Amino acid sequence: MEQATIEESSLSLAERASLPVGGPVEFQLLPKQYQFVTSNALEVLYSGALGAGKTKALCIRALIRAQHERARVGITRKYLSDLKATTLKTLLEWDGDCPPVLAEGTYKSIRAGAEYYYQLHGGGQIIPFGCDDEQKIGSLNLSDCLVDEAIELDERSWNMLMGRCRVTFKMPDGSRSIPTIAAATNPGPPNHFLYQRFFLDPETDPTLKLVLQTTSFENWFLPPAFFTRYRTLTGTTRQRYLMGEWCSFEGAVFPMFSTQKHEVHRTGPFLYHIAGVDVGFTHPTAVRVHGIDPQRRSHVREEFYKAGVQVSEIVAACYAFSNRYRPVTFVVDPSQPAVIKALKHRGMHVKMAENDVADGLRVLSDALYTEADDAKPELTFEPGLRGTREYMSYQWQDGVIREQPIKTKDDAIDADRYAMMEKRKKSMLRMLFRTVGGPEPKAEDSTSQESESLDESVPAEDLDRYFEAAR
């Protein structure tokens, strides 16, 4: 394969890849399509809205991965009939003015009994099959596997496909090929295993997993009529089908959460900081630093979000936050006395969290909700924080609104719950201090190390006594 080139087009940045099969073939790709077709990560997910070019990218990746004569590239969907009606048409047939990905004369169709595959001239094989035939899956040995509409699969099928990707061969540069599994899909509900696997899994090594998320608006090749047709979509339907977001239609604890509205960049000023600390070992430990502004809105500025950590690493992360954000109170899961003791030993201001789940979720929901689309919510998040993704997948038990959610993948939510409950406590105290003429906190410059806070003005134990008396 020739080196890919990047050029400016009249539309925007275009990335082109030239392939030598049957003469030079040039594809004009969107930037995220290019990332998808060229990635060597062991698992790749291309998640996109309507019209994001997912199937086209999948077929081009099949062509690229099948260049070597020993390559055996599987291409699949849950049902073989759907694969033939959709994916293989993009691979083999004209689509309007768009030619097929496999140009006529560059391959030969070979059928052996009920099985068939496409043999590339001078290259390897592309093998179509359906995941509804588990017996056939169990007999496959593949160098790569490509899955279209992966949202249709369950985790068992995904694991079976991964197990079939084990064929390797020597590349022209002397290296060994890397068996991969790559999928293209529309977004679905956040409790789907793909969302859990690619968006919530704390694994961050891009050589192991890569997820690419795209919207309809990123495809500059779409005609204006496409957007005219879907301009009336609103709410969750718009989020999923135009913005490419994984969101729930029912059963969500936080249906009001939106990445567009709640993930925003803010610089302050902030009066003080509260850091919620939820401790995990097999699941992530989450430390989420909330900056509280003069309007009493909370903005999650930074996080520590990592699984398999020891107490010493948690303390080190909190100590770094205590130096970066002054003043800050750490509100810790009350079931973790060792962490509380270790933080206090390092001189940090620590309080035990209020751990009423139902009350805490109501506080979070109220903080996320806004009456009008252009209103500013009480709780926002700095973009790019991994823990914030939990808000999209958090579900009530049995998909109905109850007092108890499904307690999984909620480490950042728990940390935010602790912080927001503490913020509510401070807000109530502020009203009491105003009544008795107490001191007002001053706004903090984000770089200042000398700012005053409510907790510096009044000893922490006095605040607690005042709060208890008020209740």
User: pLDDT tens digits, residue range 64-86?
Assistant: 999 999 999 999 998 898 999 99
Question: Which pair of tokens denotes residue 340?
Answer: 């509380």
Helices H / strands E in the chain, number of each = 16, 17
Mean pLDDT of 303-309: 93
Q: Is the pLDDT of residue 21 over 50?
A: no
Rank 102-106, 177-181, 357-361, 369-373 by mean pLDDT and report only the highest.
177-181
Judge contact between 318 and 277, C-beta under 8 A.
yes
Residue 300: predicted pLDDT = 98
Q: Is the pLDDT of residue 448 over 60?
A: no
Residue 202: predicted pLDDT = 62
Residue 398: predicted pLDDT = 63
Q: Is the pLDDT of residue 119 over 90?
A: yes
Residue 33: predicted pLDDT = 96
Query: What integer best gives the mean pLDDT of the chain?
Result: 83
Residue 9: predicted pLDDT = 25
Residue 287: predicted pLDDT = 98
Q: Is the pLDDT of residue 39 over 90?
A: yes
pLDDT, one tens digit per residue, over 223-260 is 898 888 888 887 777 888 899 988 776 678 888 888 77
Question: What is the largest distance, in Å, between two alpha-carbon atoms of the chain?
Answer: 89
Radius of gyration of the chain (CA): 26
Q: Residue 370 — very low, low, confident or very high, per pLDDT cuts 50/70/90?
A: confident
pLDDT, one tens digit per residue, over 131-165 is 988 888 988 999 999 999 999 998 889 999 999 99
Residue 107: predicted pLDDT = 95
Lowest pLDDT segment from 83-92, 391-400, 413-422: 391-400
pLDDT, one tens digit per residue, over 153-196 is 988 899 999 999 999 999 999 999 999 999 999 998 877 889 88
Q: Which helix (H) or strand (E) holds 329?
A: strand 328-332
Residue 464: predicted pLDDT = 43
Residue 411: predicted pLDDT = 94
Q: Is the pLDDT of residue 455 over 60?
A: no
| Crossing angle (nearest 10°) for helices 357-368 and 411-436 | 80
Judge contact between 421 and 431, C-beta under 8 A.
no
Judge contact between 111 and 100, C-beta under 8 A.
no
Neighbours of 211 (CB within 10 A): 18
Neighbours of 443 (CB within 10 A): 14
Question: Which pair of tokens denotes residue 292?
Answer: 């509280």
Lowest pLDDT segment from 8-12, 131-135, 240-244, 448-452: 8-12
Tell if the pTM clears 0.85, that is, is over it.
no
Mean pLDDT of 285-294: 96
Determine the 3-state secondary structure of 328 from DSSP: strand
Alpha helices per DSSP H over 71-133 = 80-85, 87-92
Q: Which of 112, 110, 156, 165 is nearest to 134 (CA)?
A: 156
SS (H, E, C) 332-390: ECCCCHHHHHHHHHCCCCEEECCCCHHHHHHHHHHHHCCCCCCCCCCEEECCCCHHHHH
Question: Which pair of tokens denotes residue 155?
Answer: 């985790």
Quote the CA–CA distance of 205 and 203 in Å, as a whole number: 6
Judge contact between 143 and 65, C-beta under 8 A.
yes
Using CA atoms, how far residue 316 sits from 7, 42, 304, 363, in Å, is 46, 32, 10, 29
Mean pLDDT of 20-48: 85
Q: Residue 16 — very low, low, confident or very high, per pLDDT cuts 50/70/90?
A: very low
Judge contact between 273 and 289, C-beta under 8 A.
yes
Burial 3-17 (b: 16+ CB within 10 A, else e): eeeeeeeeeeebbeb
Mean pLDDT of 256-273: 89
Q: Residue 440 — very low, low, confident or very high, per pLDDT cuts 50/70/90?
A: low
Mean pLDDT of 441-460: 37
Mean pLDDT of 414-439: 77
Mean pLDDT of 44-55: 94
Residue 471: predicted pLDDT = 38
Residue 252: predicted pLDDT = 81
Q: Is the pLDDT of residue 361 over 60?
A: yes
